[in-house]
Structures are given as C-alpha cells and as structure tokens.
C-alpha cells in the first residue's frame, strides 16, 4: 500500500515519476500510486486535472464530474476502498502533455504547501466533517456538466475540489471554508451566465 501523501508537492512528484517511466499515464496508474483508499488525494487529482491546462480538453469537466460523483457517493455510503470502472481507469494522457501540466503546477504547489497546517480540524477529522465534504463534492459533481457552458468555470470547480482534497490530506479546516467560498462564487457566476 502506498505511503499516505502529506502535501500537494508529493502528489505531483508521484504523478511525475509515472510520467518519467511511461509514454502514456492512465488514471488507473495514478490511482494505484496514490492509493485507492484515499479520498483526499483522489479529490486532489481531479482538482489538479480541472485546474490545469488539461481542463481545456472538450468533455473533460463532464468526465471528471462522473469521477467525483462516483468517489463521493462511495464515501457517503462508507466504503473503505473505492471502486472505479474501467472506462475511468483506462483513460490516459500522453507523457508530454502531462509533464507540461505538472511543470505549470510545480511552483504554485510549493507556495501552497508552505502555508498549510492543521487547523479547524473538526471540519475534516470527524465523520460529520468528512461526510460534509463528500456531500459538497456530490453537489459540485452535479453542477459540473453545466460548467461546460461557461468558460473557466470548470477550472474554478477544480480549484474548489483541489482545496477540499488538500484539506483532508493536511487536516486544514480553513481550506474547507475557502472551498465553500470558491464553489459558491463559481456556482453564482455560472447560474447568472446561463440565465
């Protein structure tokens, strides 16, 4: 079983190792390297994908929405290890595109990791906190298909998911509150632009 991640840089390093060793990197390979029991790192993976230049791939937000819903629902029903279908696990990206996205994210990841620390841990530690985060992820996942209609809104949802994942990894409840603000703002922006 992989060692639990401690921060965002470690997640990027693990994905970077896969990119160095393989021409194509599948989601299954990434999930195996970070651990299929870890809700936080999986959320971080989805958030990074949506926040990076990869979010410009048509249909990416709808695909990632199905990933979010599947994982968050399993967390809500209490599964210890997440099941993911082959159509998600087999999706892959070419090494060059992945490496470009990782290079783009490296400096912000270092800066973010410097300011993270355990605080307001009741929002992430107890069952109520983690179920609340999972429920919020279900809402984000349900809204994401509509974000295809408004440019850059999927990237903002990705930022919210990345923040929620980080909150679970580093036990920083302040990040949960920040994610609520980001998602609330994004939802309002999408709602106003669709109407």
Long-range contacts of 26-34 (CB under 8 A, 24+ apart): 26/89, 26/90, 26/91, 26/92, 27/67, 27/84, 27/88, 27/89, 27/90, 27/91, 27/92, 28/84, 28/89, 28/90, 29/92, 31/84, 31/89, 32/2, 33/2, 34/2, 34/5
Residues 6+ apart with CB under 8 A from 127: none
- With 0-12 CB in 10 A as exposed, 13-18 as middle and 19+ as buried, what is 87? exposed
Please report how many Cα atoms fall inside a 13 Å half-sphere around the Cα of residue 91, on the Cβ side. Answer: 16
Are 162 and 47 spatial neighbours (Cβ–Cβ below 8 Å)?
Answer: yes
Q: Is 167 among the domain residues?
A: yes
Q: Is 2 among the domain residues?
A: no
Q: Is 127 among the domain residues?
A: yes
Q: Is 21 among the domain residues?
A: yes
Q: Is 32 among the domain residues?
A: yes
Q: Is 109 among the domain residues?
A: yes
Number of separate domains in the chain: 1
Q: Which structural domain range is residue 73 located in? A: 8-194
The two structure tokens encoding residue 49: 């994908």
Are 137 and 46 spatial neighbours (Cβ–Cβ below 8 Å)?
Answer: no
Q: Is 3 among the domain residues?
A: no
pLDDT in tens, 47-89: 888 887 776 677 777 888 888 898 889 888 887 777 888 887 8
Q: Is 30 among the domain residues?
A: yes
Whether the model pTM is above 0.75: yes
pLDDT in tens, 148-167: 777 777 788 888 898 898 88
């Amino acid at each position: 079983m992989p060692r639990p991640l401690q921060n965002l840089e470690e997640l990027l390093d693990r994905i970077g190792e896969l990119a160095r060793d393989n021409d194509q990197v599948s989601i299954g390979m990434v999930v195996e390297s970070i651990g299929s029991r870890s809700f936080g790192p999986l959320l971080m993976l989805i958030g990074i994908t949506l926040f990076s230049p990869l979010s410009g791939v048509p249909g990416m937000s709808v695909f990632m929405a199905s990933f979010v819903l599947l994982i968050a629902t399993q967390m809500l029903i209490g599964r210890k290890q997440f099941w993911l279908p082959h159509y998600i696990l087999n999706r892959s990206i070419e090494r060059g595109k992945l490496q470009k996205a990782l290079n783009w994210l490296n400096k912000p990841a270092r800066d973010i990791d410097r300011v993270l620390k355990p605080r307001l841990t009741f929002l992430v530690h107890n069952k109520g906190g983690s179920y609340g985060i999972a429920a919020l992820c279900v809402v984000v996942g349900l809204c994401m298909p509509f974000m295809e209609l408004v440019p850059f809104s999927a990237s903002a949802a990705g930022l919210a998911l990345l923040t929620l994942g980080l909150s679970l990894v580093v036990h920083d409840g302040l990040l949960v509150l920040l994610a609520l603000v980001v998602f609330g703002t994004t939802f309002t922006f999408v709602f106003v632009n669709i109407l």
